[in-house]
Structure 1
Amino acid sequence: MILDLLNSQSFENIALYWYFILFIAAIFGGLVGSLSGGAGMITMPLLLLSGINPLIALATNKLQACIGSFTGAAHYYSQGLVDIKSSRLCIIIAMLFASTGAISVQFVKVEILSKILPFVMITIGAYFLFSRKISDTDRAKSPNKVLFHSLCALVSFYGGFLGVGIGTLALTMLVSIGGYGLSKALAHSRSIVFSINIASIIFFILSGNVLWLLGIVMCVGQAIGATLGAKLAIKHGAKIIKPFVICICFGISIQLIIKEFFG
């Protein structure tokens, strides 16, 4: 009786039960995103499985990701882990190049990028798994600013273009090139990811591709999960962040390889 009722009711041409499933997925995605990045690995496959158009799924996912990344960034900032002044240029770059990516994805095919991405994520997972340098301690070095900001631009374009695993990519950039300690890198990555999300969602909204009711439901879930994740990350530091990053990288890789090569 209950299943029949849920199947018979729909909003925005999506069965009602998908709202419950995606709300729970958003909570878990927000938690994972605040701990390691990669929230899209949780929410995007389910959005696509619900039967909506891929571009609409991407746009709706961006809307709820904005809330998750903002919640995480705000929590880290309130704990004194984010220096906005030092990351101001990265934020500006992120917004500019994410906007370009969001515009581009609406006119081009993403099949080639989707096939390359899993191997990029495997490389990142291996880096976090085997590198002995990763800890909560900042490494005493001056990063190559040209390389760092160029990579920030590339990551941001990808974030606006496709965005799966963007938090993990930003985190890796801050640790490997920026020399940040893991907790500090995670905190700053949330600010960069929020900048990417807020810049790209504007163009998805203007194109009319966002499902607002579903997006708002998922935003509530993201806020809950991101708050829990940020609190866990601040309390436990690298000993919880590093395993999450490794699991997310290999999880994204397996998921994408199955989808792109065997699906």
Structure 2
Amino acid sequence: MWNLVFLCFAGFLASFVDSIAGGGGLISVPAFFIAGFPVHYALGTNKFAATTGSFTSSLKFALSGKVNFKLIKYIIPFTFIGAVLGVKTVLLISQDFLYPLVMALILFVGIYSLFSKTIGLENKFTGITKLNLFLGILLGFVIGFYDGFFGPGTGSFLIFGLISIFKFDFTHASGNAKFLNFVSNITSLLVFALEGKINYLYGIPIAIFMIIGATLGTKAALTKGSKLIKPIFVVMSLGVALKILIENYLL
């Protein structure tokens, strides 16, 4: 019972943060390990609960007009394909070589966002061009593959990529990133479900708390906008990099 209470609280906090700026897995996945879940069941059950929160957040961003469906309808299929290939590839190739590269990239994203005074504070999106659409599709495919293959920092990469390519502010970038992240999440979830790696007895109540956290987090993001999202984005990006560093180089 105490394990379930602990995981529900961790799930609420994780989805609240994740709905604003990504990085909720930093909180929820370690919580499952602390509760004694085997690795595959921890990842599968977390993915089940987190996907419900991701859907809730995506829906609220969409209803608030922060998702550009004219744009992401082109990117979603490639995100799905990338995620499927990522999950298939992770069964064949070691993830170890990715750790230093991912840590360096996320550190760059976090530090650059921290010191850039203007990045993501104004929505300067002017429309879809052949170039930015191509780059967006490439981003969706690569991040979908990465999320299926490895995962840490997916939200950070998506938000930063959408701001860089389409000149969105953090609020619009977060809304569009949430939808794309949901696509890769649901793809990974289906694989975990087919492999029987989800504990639904825990997953369902945790999912309820994640839905509540995502609802409140998205409301805060839409109310406060980029001024709230940017600092949380920076903290979670640097947190992901620090987690990778500690787990793989200092322990």
Q: Could you tell me how far 1:222 is from its partner in structure 2? A: 1.0
User: TM-score by structure 2 length?
Assistant: 0.92
User: TM-score by structure 1 length?
Assistant: 0.88
Contact map agreement 2:80 2:144 (CA 8 A) in 1: yes
Question: Could you say which residue in structure 1 is the equivalent of 2:107?
Answer: 122
Deviations 1:12-71 (A, max 9, x none): xxxx32211111111011111111011111111222233322222222221112111100
Is the alpha carbon distance of 1:145 and 1:78 closer, same or farther for their aligned partners in structure 2, counting shifts above 3 Å?
closer
Question: Could you say which residue in structure 1 is the equivalent of 2:197?
Answer: 209
Structure 1 vs Structure 2 CA RMSD: 1.7
Contact map agreement 2:33 2:39 (CA 8 A) in 1: yes
Which runs of structure 1 show a deviation greater than 6 angstroms over 4 or more consecutive aligned residues?
none
SS in 2 for 1:148: helix
Q: Could you tell me how far 1:138 is from its partner in structure 2? A: 2.1
Question: Could you say which residue in structure 2 is the equivalent of 1:137?
Answer: 123
Question: Could you say which residue in structure 2 is the equivalent of 1:191?
Answer: 179
Q: Could you tell me how far 1:140 is from its partner in structure 2? A: 4.1
Q: Are residue 148 (structure 1) and residue 136 (structure 2) matched?
A: yes
CA distance in 1, matches of 2:92, 2:195: 12
SS in 1 for 2:67: coil
The correspondence of residues 212-231 of structure 1 with structure 2, limited to 5 A, is: 212-231=200-219
Number of equivalent positions: 248
Contact map agreement 2:159 2:177 (CA 8 A) in 1: yes
Question: Could you say which residue in structure 1 is the equivalent of 2:78?
Answer: 93
CA distance in 1, matches of 2:148, 2:5: 27
Contact map agreement 2:20 2:218 (CA 8 A) in 1: yes
Question: Could you say which residue in structure 1 is the equivalent of 2:57?
Answer: 72
CA distance in 1, matches of 2:101, 2:205: 32
Residue identity opposite 1:112 in structure 2: F
CA distance in 2, matches of 1:107, 1:22: 31
Q: Are residue 236 (structure 1) and residue 224 (structure 2) matched?
A: yes
Pair member with larger Rg: 1
Q: Could you tell me how far 1:107 is from its partner in structure 2? A: 4.2
Contact map agreement 1:41 1:165 (CA 8 A) in 2: no
Question: Could you say which residue in structure 2 is the equivalent of 1:82?
Answer: 67
CA distance in 1, matches of 2:244, 2:176: 27
CA distance in 1, matches of 2:106, 2:247: 15
Contact map agreement 1:152 1:173 (CA 8 A) in 2: no
CA distance in 2, matches of 1:107, 1:96: 17
Residue identity opposite 2:22 in structure 1: G
Contact map agreement 1:19 1:214 (CA 8 A) in 2: yes
Among 48, 67, 77, the alignment partner of 1:63 is 48
Residue identity opposite 1:136 in structure 2: E
What residue ranges of structure 2 are gaps of 5+ in the alignment? none
Is the alpha carbon distance of 1:171 and 1:250 closer, same or farther for their aligned partners in structure 2, counting shifts above 3 Å?
same
Q: Could you tell me how far 1:163 is from its partner in structure 2? A: 1.8
